[in-house]
């Protein structure tokens, strides 16, 4: 199965619901718009955005030129793509070294995404160094070591319970000494409480700023797309306290409804940069707004 098919499969529930509405289209009346609005809300778009989108669609219909369900589908595709397109989806990692800090709550797919990125970069001939900054559990370092081995990346790892800031500090020093192209730092998603976690991320941020003041840097927040609107809450918290330059939406091969992409992009203005569509090394895609919307609507 191609990667695009995997997203299409994952988003099939939303697509079927929307397609049902388009197919049964008998006219742009209130009933039609209400049903569409409800379906968009159910698809995790969020109430405000669903209402706003349907209002725009109403205006387009009023302006003329939209007749059948197929025209409506095209117009909705245009409106939703627009919602995502104002964003810069590219990863900016031109300096040597450049650095990625992967953040997000437990279980969303941080370590897996690091593994996938490491595989991508090494296959491009880049030298990659991983920092095992999740020292909360030994298993986390273990998991990252396996990805390092698989992808041919190097890894800096300390023992369980040690200071994540120190791991990042050592990782940066090692990357400079070994002339690595990209450093990717893992972090814990769960600590004794949220304040601890946010303090730790601030500390890591400060270390990176001090040790690599001129390096290109991405703070990628990983969100599990199947958690719906809760993802929006997480995005808000992390972007306030940890500084987020981009989002990674994972598990889009699963039961995700897909609307969360529009909600986070629209409400927080954080660009989506990558999407995860499985557990394997090559199950990672650059985010493409139009493809994403087409996977939902066509």
Ligand X SMILES: Nc1nc2c(ncn2[C@@H]2O[C@H](COP(=O)(O)OP(=O)(O)O)[C@@H](O)[C@H]2O)c(=O)[nH]1
- The footprint of ligand X (CB under 6 A) covers 104, 106-112, 189, 222, 250-251, 253-254, 276-279, 283
Is residue 112 close enough to count as binding Mg ion by CB under 5 A? no
122 sits near Mg ion (criterion: CB under 5 A): no
Smallest gap from residue 195 Cβ to ligand X (A): 20
The nearest distance, CB 198 to ligand X, in angstroms, is 16
Nearest to 107 by CA among 21, 213, 227, 270: 227
- Grouping H, G, I as helix, E, B as strand and the rest as coil, residue 185 is strand
Q: What gap in Å lies between CA 112 and CA 130, rounded to an integer?
A: 12
The candidate with the shortest Cα–Cα distance to 167, out of 182, 180, 150, 186, is 186
* DSSP at 282: T
Which lies closer to Mg ion via its Cβ, residue 231 or residue 259?
231
Tell me the DSSP string of 13-28: HHHHHHHHHHHT---S
CB 204 within 8 A of CB 228: no
Judged by beta carbon distances under 5 to 8 A according to partner kind, the member of Mg ion, ligand X, none in contact with residue 109 is ligand X
Q: How far is the CB of 104 from ligand X (least distance, A)?
A: 6
Please say which residue, 265 or 284, places its beta carbon nearer to Mg ion: 284
Contacts of residue 46, defined as CB under 8 A and 6 or more positions apart, other chains included, come to 229, 232, 259, 262, 263, 266, 267
Instruction: From the list Mg ion, ligand X, none, pick the one residue 108 interacts with, judged by a Cβ distance below 5 to 8 Å according to partner type.
Output: ligand X
The tokens of 270 are what?
């954080």
107 binds, among ligand X, Mg ion, none (CB under 5 to 8 A by kind): ligand X
Rank residues 73 and 110 by Cβ distance to Mg ion and give the closer one: 110
Among ligand X, Mg ion, none, what binds residue 276 when CB lies within 5 to 8 Å by partner kind?
A: ligand X
Minimum distance between the CB of residue 118 and Mg ion, rounded to whole angstroms? 14
Residue 111 is a binding residue for Mg ion (CB under 5 A): yes
Q: How far apart are CA 184 and CA 165, in angstroms?
A: 14
Residues that bind Mg ion (CB under 5 A): 110-111, 140
């Amino acid at each position: 199965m191609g990667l695009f098919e995997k997203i299409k499969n994952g988003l099939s529930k939303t697509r079927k619901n929307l397609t049902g509405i388009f197919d049964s289209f008998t006219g742009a009346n209130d009933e039609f718009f209400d049903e569409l609005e409800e379906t968009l809300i159910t698809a995790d778009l969020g109430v405000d955005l669903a209402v706003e989108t349907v209002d725009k669609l109403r205006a387009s219909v009023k302006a003329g030129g939209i007749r059948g369900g197929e025209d409506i589908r095209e117009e909705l595709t245009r409106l939703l793509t627009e919602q995502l397109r104002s964003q810069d989806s590219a990863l900016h990692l031109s300096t040597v070294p450049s650095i990625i800090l992967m953040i997000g709550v437990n279980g969303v797919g941080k370590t897996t995404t690091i593994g996938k990125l490491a595989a991508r970069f090494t296959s491009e001939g880049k030298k990659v160094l991983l920092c095992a900054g999740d020292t909360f559990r030994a298993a986390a370092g273990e998991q990252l070591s396996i990805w390092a081995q698989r992808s041919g990346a190097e890894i800096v790892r300390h023992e369980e319970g040690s200071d994540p800031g120190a791991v990042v500090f050592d990782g940066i020093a090692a990357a400079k000494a070994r002339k690595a192209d990209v450093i990717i730092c893992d972090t814990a998603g769960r600590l004794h409480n949220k304040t601890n976690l946010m303090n730790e991320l601030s500390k890591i941020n400060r270390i990176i700023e001090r040790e690599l003041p001129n390096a290109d840097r991405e703070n990628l927040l990983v969100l599990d797309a199947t958690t719906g609107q809760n993802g929006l809450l997480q995005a808000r918290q992390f972007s306030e306290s940890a500084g987020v330059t981009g989002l990674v939406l994972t598990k889009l091969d699963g039961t995700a409804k897909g609307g969360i992409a529009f909600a986070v992009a629209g409400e927080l203005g954080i660009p989506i940069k990558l999407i995860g569509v499985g557990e394997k090394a090559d199950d990672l895609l650059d985010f493409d707004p139009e493809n994403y919307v087409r996977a939902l609507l066509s």
